[in-house]
Structure 1
Amino acid sequence: MKYLFPKDFIWGSATAAYQVEGNNTGSDFWAEEQAEGSPYADKSGDAIDHYRLYREDIALMASLGLKAYRFSIEWARVEPAPGQYSRSAIEHYRDMLNACYEYGLMPVVAMHHFSSPQWLMRIGGWASPSVPERFSKYCEVVFQELGSLIPYVLTFNEINLPVMLRDVFMNNGLVPPVGIDSASWRAPQWRESAARLCGTTVDNYVTFHMISDEAKIALLKEAHIQAREAIKRVSPQTRVGLSMALSDVQSVPGGENIAEERWQLYFRKYLSMLEGDDFFGLQNYTREVYGQEGLVRPAPGAELTQMKYEYYPEALANVIRKVAKDLSIPILITEHGIGTDDDVRRVNFIRTALAGLHSCIRDGIAVTGYLHWTTFDNFEWNAGYSMTFGLIAVDRSTQERHPKESAHYLGRIAQTNTLE
């Protein structure tokens, strides 16, 4: 059966600066990697050298048939010290944007994808009352320079992830998509070391992943609102949104109330942040099933991904339908993917999920695009280079790129706007 998508549907893939650029030495995650007792399996180092090879990479994406590229700007590069902005970094991202247009890819930009400047930790990190003003000023400076080149922007990637992490670690002991395990989250020693490397104490060391209490969430909300206002003031044509990580929350008899509580915690409590946004970035990887005793583990023999959660591509359509009940703005799938070394399963994952997505569009839900996570096998946070989410493999000894069949498959869909 053929599924024809709307003619202006956005097809592409996504990366995060810290995971692909390499040598983001001014970022807080760099300190975490280098910290004594760090739980990171690898050090990012050169990563896949995308900061140098971005033009070749963008040309490769275009040659595969993709139509859009979502990437992030590294705040620590643009503002290496408070109030000091790097002309060379701004020009680098300008050329990335121009390269996208030269090769026919629509850019989708994230202003923050988990990593923050080390200097932010010295003033209290994401618990600092000044963080909304500082973040919005960074956004304003970038958009004064580059706004005319950015049609879509996410202020933040996965604003709800810190609460999900806290909930998972406290109740379930699962490994979340970003690859930070519960023992690492609770171990204080390496965070003290990371704080010292940032030039501060552990009391001030509040990374983005620690925004899980009401006071910090309120600051995050204000940062998003002020950033959106700054962006719109400078570049009113740019569509502004944010993204959330959302599992398909399900229940079995006896777990209905717990499932509803989780959905409230993961999604509905953040709805006020979206008021005034132009679109919603939805990110999905799997499902969570709750019973009377809490989370129900996947059945014995269930297919699991490298990240140890359930292979369940049907989750994407289910989550789209759930969020659509509370939204009046379009939905853009800003991440969806699978960690696996079996690319046949990745192709199946994409196909099954897109068939479900198409059914949502057919039923009148405004879904405007699909950006696959991720373009390349890359640095997967504390899991290092062991997880393979990419459409394109990378030989890190040579930095050679090797497109997988899944890359060609998604490229053909993008070119024909049709799923078969």
Structure 2
Amino acid sequence: MTTRRDVLAGLAAAAAVVASPTRAAARGAMPRGFLWGAAISAHQSEGNDLNSDSWLLENLPETVYKDPSGDACDSYHRYDQDFAIARSIGLTCYRFGIEWARIEPEPGRFSQAELDRYAKVLASCRAHGLLPIVTYNHFTVPLWFAKRGGWEAPDSADLFARFCERATRALGDQIGMASPFNEANIHLLAKLLRMGATPDYRAKRTAMIAAAARATNSPGFSSILFADPDRIDAHLLQAHAKAYQAIKAGPGDFPVGVTLSTQAIEPVGENSLAPRIEAMVYGDWWDVVNASDFVGVQAYTRVRLDAKGMVPPPPGAEMTAAGYEYYPQALGHVIRLAARKTKKPIFVTESGIATDDDSRRVAWLDASIAEIRRCLDEGIDVKSYIYWSLLDNFEWTQGYGQHFGMVAVDRDTFARKLKPSTQHFASLIRRG
């Protein structure tokens, strides 16, 4: 029988994984201390994030979101159940977010009730034998922050650091690992993807932000997924630096790193734009990684570029339900990229597939973990595999139509139903 002492000992070992080299294991097995996990975000799973910018955008008549988030997965109330499911699979860590819009619903007014609730969430995570890996900001911000210009505002970094300081003061002694941002370079990836956006979509996006500005009487309404990347990049870099210092001030003594969107960028033919685009997508964020404690890579597919721009997947390529190429080999590509760019510990903090055919999720898990195994055999010290996502949840502008989860969620009753991929993942973990 597993005792609480066994659980706490396991957590202590997991927390030490960043600070020391991972002990080698027999060829074909993962190293001792390797973290197995799943990831989710607050807005996408908790539900009813009423004070956030995304909640407003989702519910405008002019919205580009296919569904509003609504109750989401009701993880706000059902987090114990989610942690129990994660532990039943054999996971040793769980990556999730704390929601800024709940904790600071008005500028400078922090909700002690919400901080107390997140303290309970963290305690539950640990009680289930899971190392809590906390994201302080996963795209969404308080509505008041968006109304005053979001990340375009010159003092946005200071406001974010204030939130991080207050949240850490309340929660830091329970956190196992953390990152200020999810996919800190998401705005730069968006800059690339917008190159292929249709004029109709650009017009609808512009109309939605204009409607949000009218609804809030704000001439400068700004939301990260729709903002001008060139207007927010410098402020996000400053925000990470200040948040890092605020979080490291404690309480708690845990690693604070950078998670990046690290899709494989591959050249096609001569004079490919791939090197230039790769430099654009990462900007100065590798320098930020080198001033932090670890890097989290998050890979889903590849982007292919010739001398003119993006090219479509090869003829006959399998596509996921998210509309991009099924390409788990991207994970090995980006782990090797990270190993070239930094000597910091490398964690896989997201990797997953949108599909309604769970056998393809099983194949994705096999292929992704095989990529990690190859990187380990090459001498790259990879610390984790964290699947996105535990639950079928709200997928931003795509609403509820895309299913990344290993666990299905009934949209009316919120009943959780484990898919066969959970048992396959559990068997992989048992085999090491």
Q: TM-score, normalising length from structure 1?
A: 0.93
Secondary structure at 2:68 match in 1 = coil
Aligned equivalents of 1:117 and 1:139: distance in 2?
14
Aligned equivalents of 1:350 and 1:225: distance in 2?
34
Paired residue for 1:366?
A: 381
Pairing partner for 2:185 from 160, 169, 185: 160
Q: TM-score, normalising length from structure 2?
A: 0.90
- Residue deviations 1:171-207 (CA, integer Å, cap 9, x gap): x239xxxxxx97057532221222334x232x41111
Number of aligned residue pairs: 407
Q: 1:230 and 2:255 equivalent?
A: no
Paired residue for 2:268?
A: 252
Aligned equivalents of 2:235 and 2:377: distance in 1?
38
Is the Cα contact below 8 Å between 2:192 and 2:281 reproduced in 1?
no
- Residue deviations 1:34-78 (CA, integer Å, cap 9, x gap): 112211111111111000111111111111211111000100000
Is the Cα contact below 8 Å between 1:40 and 1:382 reproduced in 2?
yes
**Alignment map for 1:86-235 (pairs within 5 Å):** 86-170=111-195, 172-173=196-197, 183=201, 187-197=205-215, 199-201=216-218, 203-210=219-226, 212-235=228-251
In structure 2, runs of 5+ residues without a counterpart are: 1-25
Paired residue for 1:408?
A: 423
**Alignment map for 1:263-342 (pairs within 5 Å):** 263-342=278-357
Pairing partner for 1:384 from 399, 405, 409: 399
Paired residue for 1:11?
A: 36
Paired residue for 1:261?
A: 276
Paired residue for 2:107?
A: 82
- In structure 2, relative to structure 1, the CA distance for the partners of 1:15 and 1:213 (3 Å cut) is closer
Aligned equivalents of 2:283 and 2:425: distance in 1?
32
- In structure 2, relative to structure 1, the CA distance for the partners of 1:341 and 1:48 (3 Å cut) is same
- Residue deviations 1:244-301 (CA, integer Å, cap 9, x gap): 1111111122143x01011111125322222321000110000111123321211232
| Residue 83 of structure 1, CA deviation | 0.8
- Residue deviations 1:356-389 (CA, integer Å, cap 9, x gap): 1111122221211111001100111111110000
Q: Percent identity?
A: 36
Aligned equivalents of 1:283 and 1:200: distance in 2?
37
- Residue deviations 1:129-181 (CA, integer Å, cap 9, x gap): 111111011111111111011120010011211121122212x239xxxxxx9
Is the Cα contact below 8 Å between 2:205 and 2:226 reproduced in 1?
no
Pairing partner for 1:51 from 76, 91, 98: 76
Is the Cα contact below 8 Å between 2:132 and 2:177 reproduced in 1?
yes
Higher relative contact order, chain-length normalized (CA < 8 Å, sep 6+): 1
Aligned equivalents of 2:119 and 2:208: distance in 1?
36
| Residue 211 of structure 1, CA deviation | 5.2
Equivalent residue letter for 1:230 = A
- In structure 2, relative to structure 1, the CA distance for the partners of 1:380 and 1:184 (3 Å cut) is farther
Is the Cα contact below 8 Å between 1:121 and 1:195 reproduced in 2?
no
Aligned equivalents of 1:292 and 1:216: distance in 2?
28
Paired residue for 2:9?
A: none
Secondary structure at 1:239 match in 2 = coil
In structure 1, runs of 5+ residues without a counterpart are: 175-180
- In structure 2, relative to structure 1, the CA distance for the partners of 1:123 and 1:147 (3 Å cut) is same
